[in-house]
Structure 1
Amino acid sequence: MNKKIYFNLFVVSFIIMGLEMTATRFIAPSFGNTVYTWGIIISIFLVGSSIGYTIGGFIADLKSIKKIMNYLYIFGILTIALIPIIKSTIFPYLESLSNELGTTFGVIALYFIPNLIFSSIVTVLMKEGLESRVNGKLIGNLHTSSAMGSVLGTLVTTFFFIPLTHINSVIGIFSFLIFIAFLFYNEEKSKPQQFVLIVISIISVTFPFISTKSQLSEELYQTTSLYHEIYVYETDYYNGQSGDFRYLTFGNETTIQGMMDMNTPSKLVLDYARSIWGISDTFAKGSERVFIIGHGIGTLTSQYEKENKEVKVAEIDKGVLEVSRNYFNYKGNSVEIGDGRNILKKQKNEFDVIILDAYNNTDKIPFQLTSKEFFTLTYEKLKEEGVLIINSIGNLKGDTFISSLKTTVNSVYPFVYIFAMEEKVGVQNLTIVGSKVPLDDKKITGQYTVEVDDGELIFDGNTKIFNLN
């Protein structure tokens, strides 16, 4: 009996924590990956577990416990297996909500019921493991089995499952593991009723893998890295133009991280890339040394390399670099894998241009690259005539992040300019430029110099800005 209980406690606890670690991969493409995202995820899991423990305690005292447990396992397998289907069905509707509300309802829809079910199972297993004996050693062993499952569920999911396979396949693996635990727990395999339950379980386990196949059918490439769900798509039409377009996204097809027309690879397709290049070419035309945080598909990196400039690029995700080489023809050797802030800190020479073009998932700049401490570092690494160029996404009016980003940059750089492709209010790419000396912003053609309201300063250890990564 104890071996069966220990094994099931281990597996069920493994799955609970494994599911929690997959949450941002389903949430981030639609609502971003911020500290608030994790706060919502953890809170909902804790609430679900608390309710589940209470329900499990009630079930554990019932006489028909074996039959109920069988159904809990089957229903648990089904609720896990349906996660990718639920995500693809309801998230398009949730995306009209704010990031916080969308994250909350999204996590509840995907995880609340399975977490509640498996937390209930944990409580029942604990009661069964105690049998008629109650002593400290036995209680400690049961909790240790559960704790070890939680630890390994966290580590294996984070460092093995997610980096090596599609997120839907990870869900399929979890369904299969619970199915194995169910078989080990279920001693009455010969009854027709038990046979039907097993068949239902097997069918449920296949759902995530079927979902994976259907989602991948129209993609050129997909991979899961330590940091992103990386997708490469192809289309013959973009923004009113025909061509052989290929683009990179981090799980949200509407937020493009980089695009190339394969017929003319050197052409800068996206507005933000043309803006960065134009500003750099205007305000630092004679530049020799360029530092870029965020490699993407390598379009800007290649442009600077062709100009025979000394380019240093920091890219945190090795998977992004590999995709840029394999699918976007990047051939250079200017990229170093690692955190951009740390790599910049180690540079001994000053730069003419520093470009910040880094994003976590969809449209959020990593928090450590938005603080006053970070911009002070860029100031120290720039030459007197150098410029800092930031690719940001936001609204000209009522956008607390853009206002705070501008104010924070201005707290370090005496001269700050914001350029936009359109003067109208609405979410768009905004290029923020910081300089130690005044610049003639009228030299930038095809863009508008715009103003935004002042906001709160962003610091490493203290910020009032909501919705930062």
Structure 2
Amino acid sequence: MAAVTTAVLPTSWPSWRLYIVVFVASACSLVLEIAAGRLLAPEIGVSLYTWTSIIGVVLAGLSVGNYLGGRLADRFPAPSTLGLALLAGSLTSFGVLALLPILIDTLRYLPLVPRVLATNVGLFFLPSCLLGMVTPLAIKQALTDLRTAGGIVGRLYAISTAGSILGVYLTGFVLVAMLGARTVVLLVGIVLLMLALLFGRLRQSIALTVILLVPTLVVVGHTLRSRLWQSPCLTETHYYCIQVNEQNVGLLGPVMELQLDHLIHSYTAIGDPDLLRYAYTQIFAETARYVAQSHPDLRALFIGGGGYTVPLHLEAKYPEAAIDVIEIDPGVTAVSHEWMGLSPDTRIVTYNEDARIAVQRLQEGRYDLIFGDAFNDASVPYHLTTREFGQQLRSLLTDDGIYLANVIDRVYSGHFLRSYLRTMQSLFPHVYLLAREDAVETMADWPHGTYVATHPGDRDTFVVAASQQPIDFTQFRSHRTGSPAIATHVTGAGDQLRWEAGGPRALLTDDYAPVETLLASLFTGDEEQWDWRSMIPPRLRPLLFGT
């Protein structure tokens, strides 16, 4: 049998350097992935579509990088190849911050889901691809004896995975809330640049190093000079990018606007708690006035605090009321104290935890009103939509208590509202669908009215009201004393039944709550969402399709 000889490469990296490079580069790849969600939240929101796109793009980049890294390792086995990959990874990581405003503006014409996917590809595919090259290149440098190949490959992949795990937890639990997503991305670029300069043996490839290093320094300079690394958020928490702005909103005058990620969540007029802009908040307030007629010392619970707009209204209008708020993000509560008029001496009691946990400790039969204000169009916490959670809330209500929840959906193509109604109807004998007047008229027109032709793809906000006892809506009055107009309009029983029968109605449970699928029409329901012509930039459409 012929003897097997093993060549030892004199230029191979020391093992400890390879371990550091692989560990840190893998950590950086996952840091970018986790930071991506927070980075995009103020621009395109956080939804199942956002995270699906981020995970898919990063995995695709890593997969392609693994393949290309292996090919490069065989063709260019010099140790400097690994250093150049790190340097290119640094350049593209810095480029994320530089490209973000450009891509957001350039791709604004696209429908939401293709825009989310295209933005993620443009920002994160190339950095993920380059970081995916690191482990195969490192394996090439470490392999000096085929008899130990299995151990070396397994060790490097274990180190790589450990780095990825650290990157996930460090970013999600510490870095984003401490530094902000943009600063985190900037640090990734700096760390990769230092790895390349310290360990990359770049002196062996001076020309390529200069070609990559010069644009890297240019991008860094542009990022720092333009302050692209600074977050647009007032504060970034584990849950939201929180922004507060003072706005003049039509006849409402100056109000404080609370924005969570990309959605305006609340308008609060400091000093005028009766000023409620959104129709659903007015319906909440009118229901509270109805209940206060018989229970002036009403007890109310809010699932979701936000800007505390309605809790502040109840606190001012009903001095004997007891008001509890469950708000998962303590950062939102802190901002409301500082900016939205929530006094340090408020009577409002806040529980900063998930609602499913908080309600387990609350007294049964305590509340006359429970307000569900945790749903929005982009992100609906599915565990707060289920029959099991509804049972928990029902147990907290008095015999004549009322549960109200705001729901955003499309009348003609949405399925979540139907399913949520069915779920509440399985728990309460009296369930009503409330909305502003034109939305109720839309429901009455369904399915053959003119609304669908004149307002294709429109969405509406409804309030689902559920109770053990009938609600007398003839006794409803405006939340503003002296105002004759009321916001609460009730969908006719026949109209509601006819609409409910017009589509699928899932019973939402802890085991089965496909909320994202039921809400998909908010993003993909209109025909043009995936029409290839909508993917063409507007400036080019006349050239391709004429006028």
Change (3 A) 1:138 1:71: closer
In structure 2, what residue type is equivalent to 1:439? I
2:540 counterpart residue number: none
- The whole-number CA distance in structure 1 between the counterparts of 2:293 and 2:40 is 41
Paired positions, count: 461
SS in 2 for 1:184: helix
Is 1:388–1:433's contact at 8 Å kept on the other side of the alignment? yes
Unpaired runs of at least 5, structure 2: 1-13, 443-450, 452-457, 477-485, 520-547
Instruction: Provide the C-alpha distance between the structure 1 equivalents of 2:461 and 2:230, rounded to a whole number of angstroms.
Output: 29
Aligned to 1:390: 405
Q: Distance in 1 between matches of 2:202 and 2:230?
A: 38
Q: SS where residue 226 of structure 1 aligns?
A: coil
* 2:53 is aligned with 1:6: no
Matched to 1:257, the amino acid is H
Residue in 1 that maps onto 2:198: 184
Q: Does 1:354 align with 2:366?
A: no
* Whole-Å separation in 1 of the counterparts to 2:106 and 2:473: 41
Q: For residue 403 of structure 1, what is the aligned residue in structure 2?
A: 418
1:15 corresponds in structure 2 to 28
User: What TM-score comes out, normalization by structure 2 length?
Assistant: 0.77
Post-superposition Cα deviations, 1:32-90, rounded to whole Å, max 9, x if no partner, equal: 54455444433333232222211111011013645544443333223222223433333
Q: 2 CA distance for matches of 1:429 and 1:214? A: 36
Looking at structure 2, the residues matched to 322 and 150 of structure 1 have their Cα atoms a distance apart, in angstroms, of 33
Equivalent residue runs for 1:8-407 within 5 Å: 8-29=21-42, 32-35=45-48, 37-63=50-76, 65-66=78-79, 68-91=81-104, 100-132=113-145, 134-135=147-148, 136-189=150-203, 193=207, 194=209, 197-206=212-221, 208-209=223-224, 213=228, 222-235=234-247, 237-238=248-249, 240-241=250-251, 243-252=253-262, 255-262=263-270, 264=272, 267-283=275-291, 285-287=293-295, 288-306=298-316, 307=318, 308-331=320-343, 332=346, 333-350=348-365, 351-359=367-375, 363-407=378-422
Larger Rg: 2
Give, in whole Å, the separation in 1 of the partners of 2:294 and 2:183: 50
List structure 1 runs of 4+ shifted beyond 6 angstroms.
none
CA shift for structure 1 position 122? 2.1
Does the Cα contact within 8 Å between 1:169 and 1:208 map onto a contact in 2?
A: no
Give unmatched runs, 5+ long, in structure 1.
none
| Contact 1:168/1:208 (<8 A) preserved | no
Q: How far apart, CA to CA, are the structure 1 residues paired with 2:420 and 2:111?
A: 20
Q: Compared with structure 1, are the counterparts of its residues 73 and 36 closer, same or farther at alpha carbon in structure 2 (3 Å cutoff)?
A: same
Structure 1 Cα separation of the partners of residues 224 and 289 of structure 2? 48
| Alpha-carbon shift at residue 241 of structure 1 (Å) | 2.6
CA distance in 2 between counterparts of 1:93 and 1:188 reads 36
Bigger mean CA offset, 341-350 vs 291-300: 341-350
Equivalent position SS for 1:82: helix
